[in-house]
Amino acid sequence: MKSIILASGSPRRKELLSQIGLEFKVITSNVSEDTLFTSPEDMVKDLAYNKGMAVYHTLSDEEKQNSIVISADTIVYHNGKVLLKPVDERDAFNILKSLSGKKHEVFTGTFIKSGNFSSSFCEKTSVELFDISDEEIRDYIASGEPFDKAGAYGIQGLFARYIKGIEGDYNNVVGLPVGRLYQELKKYDQIYCK
């Protein structure tokens, strides 16, 4: 059996992989998230590829043959703009104000690399929010939850109270479409479960 390496320090991605019964170790990369892109799908796939390959290149030849590297990148996309992690409270407020009462999309690109095999895909989920008052936005920012999350919110946390509906994979919004990932891994009989 091949060992799985998650090329991400995201606690949410670690939780999701554990939830579906995968054993893995974490190796993070310090890849820049600056990229030129023509579409949100291309952007997340490109960033996931760069992160995965950065970790893959740190492995020995033996590890490259006996490991599966999984990497991912998630963005929130609204009105033709990519909404990354907020840089400060003002940025978080502006992001959340722009999303209030509207629909937006969450894109996650996922990259898998093992020896000569590689695979890449993108999942898209539409999220609709209830109207959120300025006071509610400020209270949410005060919780500290928005600051390490694309789009300044975590659907699995306090922000769940503002979710009107979703179309697509909930786990994709959390940060990793694990159902699709598992199916991709199964295709190549390279899965290692507890």
Query: Which sequence positions are flagged as catalytic?
Result: 73
SS3 181: helix
Residue 11's contacts (CB-CB under 8 Å, 6 or more residues apart) are: none
Q: How far apart are the first and last CA of the chain?
A: 12
* 16's tokens: 């999701």
Which pair of structure tokens corresponds to residue 123?
């999942």
Is 126 strand, coil or helix? Answer: strand
- What are the residues whose beta carbons fall under 8 Å from the beta carbon of 62, sequence distance 6 or more? none
Residue with tokens 């959120």: 132
